[in-house]
Amino acid sequence: MNTRTEKDAIGSLEVPAGAYYGIFTERAKRNFRISGIRAERNFIKALALVKKAAAAANKELGLLDNRIGDAIMAAAAEVADGKWDEQFPLDVFQAGAGTPFNMNCNEVIANIAIEKLGGSKGNYSLAHPNNHVNMAQSSNDVIPTAIRIATLFSLQPLMAAAGKLAAEFRKKAAQYSGIVKTGRTHLEDAVPIRFDQVFNSYAHSLDNCVRRTKEAENSLLQLGIGGTAVGTGINTHPQFKQKAVANLSSYTGFNFAVADDSIFTTWSAAAFLEASSSLRLLASEMVKVCNDLMLLNSGPKTAIAEIVLPEAEPGSSIMPGKVNPSVPECAIMACYQALGNDFAVAEAAKAGQMELNVMTPLMGFGLLWSAKLMTNALGMLDEFCVKEMNVDAERSQQLLHKGLSLVTALNPYIGYEVAAEVVKIALSEDKPLAQVIVETGVMGQADLKKVLDARAMTEPGLVDKELQQRIQNSESFKRFRQSLFAK
């Protein structure tokens, strides 16, 4: 392999001749062989935009030669567009504060700029990774800034996917609004609930998660670029911060602001915790929703089977014809990984010492991976599960009227103790609830039909006082109640 020799403070090292990265990246590539996972595209894009914004600011302030600055900006734009992604070989687990990431970007942009200026890769007299590309910057302000920008890029498709899935649940709610099912608490039969209420609650959950994510964006919009090493702004022009941040707003479309306290943004991971927390909320809520879908689909002959999920694939290598809820299962795994990432982010956020938190590479990786996982999981649920999901109305009605939770509606008319005794008799004698109520003389058939209206039980309603008095004054009811308390 052809190489070129580059030097740094440690010594000399051979770098692949065709590589646009340099000695710093080569050392990091050799040192940190941990996961084999490279940086997300959005992170590389964000890094390059920071470099472009800084070069433009320094050029405007008269600190960077126009010709060099123009070449750096053009090179950074190409990197941001994805033209040079193969030149970013570093593992996401690397030296603290992301210095290898920062220098990888500096070296690639410098060498691209050098060629644009008519030179050969490695001729850093034309465009230098540190002196020119990294002017008025430090890894300590560049990496947190890039993570903020990359996270904002990643949250946009996530919120869109959540909104789309919420809309699909609302469609299902409208489609099955007239169907009442058995509610369940503690995995036991409970009072009736309508499918539109269930599906709309899922949509509301997603809406709430999107709201929380949008709130987390506010912290991410505060940028500490220009703080350099410890947030004090050493080696920067007094106007650099404002100009660099304004440039980033222009390049990205986000309304960024200069951080109120760049010392705070250098050591604090609060913004990353807020964003990660919103992803944790979404993952937690979706695990619950997916579990519901699997339980409601369970069977199809020996369990609930009130909904029918689309068949995504054969479910068993040994049982012919078996179909599993593969899509919700996969989504739950993605959610669990996102929850694990959140734990890692939370632990890393505690690791700040003095003026810096060096765990930014881990936090950035966790945030961006979780956003990607959740975006893809929500899209999969929408397209391959919820969109083609159906409700089995006949099965739902069968289970509803077979269950005993309808007796709850009788409480205002016959009292809790009498209602509980009726349920005990129905269970012990394996009889339908309505049959037992009529046989014991607690209520007549006509009155029972009025009270046991499953649809009416799914929302607030007033007690029919006249009916209540008629039932409780009937001799048959009095006899049954007296026999109950005589036991």
Q: What is the pLDDT of residue 407?
A: 86
CA 58 to CA 243: how far, in whole Å? Answer: 9
Among 77, 81, 126, 127, CA closest to 106? 127
Please determine whether the domains at 3-135 and 141-233+259-394 fall in the same fold group of CATH. Answer: no
- With vertex at residue 384, the alpha carbon angle to CA 382 and CA 389, rounded to the nearest 5 degrees, is 80
Given a cut of 90, is residue 432 above it in pLDDT? no
Given a cut of 70, is residue 249 above it in pLDDT? yes
Instruction: For the beta carbon of residue 121, count every other beta carbon within 10 angstroms.
Output: 21
Q: What is the pLDDT of residue 329?
A: 97
Structure tokens of 401?
A: 């009227």
Given a cut of 80, is residue 39 above it in pLDDT? yes
DSSP 184: E
Given a cut of 70, is residue 487 above it in pLDDT? no
Domain boundaries, the chain: 3-135, 141-233+259-394, 404-486
Residue type, 24: F
Assigned CATH class of 404-486: mainly alpha
Q: What is the pLDDT of residue 196?
A: 98
What is the mean pLDDT of the segment spanning 402-409? 85
Beta partners for 4? 15
Rounded to whole angstroms, the maximal C-alpha distance in the chain is 106
Structure tokens of 392?
A: 């089995």
Topology of the domain covering 141-233+259-394: Fumarase C; Chain A, domain 2 (1.20.200)
119 pLDDT band, cuts 50/70/90, is very high
Structure tokens of 105?
A: 């970007």
Residues with Cβ within 8 Å of 221's Cβ and at least 6 positions away in sequence, in order, are 148, 152, 254, 255, 256, 257
313 pLDDT band, cuts 50/70/90, is confident
Beta partners for 180? 194
Residue 304 φ then ψ, to 5°: -75, -60
315 pLDDT band, cuts 50/70/90, is confident
Average pLDDT, the chain: 95
Contact 48, 79 (CB under 8 A): yes
- CB-count burial class (<10 Å; 0-12, 13-18, 19+) for 322: exposed
CA 389 to CA 398: how far, in whole Å? Answer: 20
Q: What is the pLDDT of residue 312?
A: 87
Given a cut of 90, is residue 451 above it in pLDDT? no
Q: What is the pLDDT of residue 457?
A: 87
Read off the pLDDT of residues 336-384 as tens digits, 9 standing for 90 and up. 999 999 999 999 999 999 999 999 999 999 999 999 999 999 999 999 9
Looking at the annotation, which residues are catalytic? 316
What is the mean pLDDT of the segment spanning 439-467? 89
Q: What is the pLDDT of residue 200?
A: 98
CA 326 to CA 358: how far, in whole Å? Answer: 39
Among 198, 224, 281, 244, CA closest to 97? 224
CA 348 to CA 436: how far, in whole Å? Answer: 62
Match domain 3-135 to its CATH number in 2.160.10.10, 2.70.98.10, 3.40.50.410, 1.10.275.10: 1.10.275.10
Task: Give me the numbers of helices (H) and strands (E) for the chain, helices first please.
Answer: 18, 8
**Tokens 């040192």 map to which residue?**
31
Rg (alpha carbons) of the chain, rounded to whole number: 32
Given a cut of 80, is residue 267 above it in pLDDT? yes
What is the mean pLDDT of the segment spanning 123-131? 98
Q: What is the pLDDT of residue 404?
A: 82
DSSP 132: I
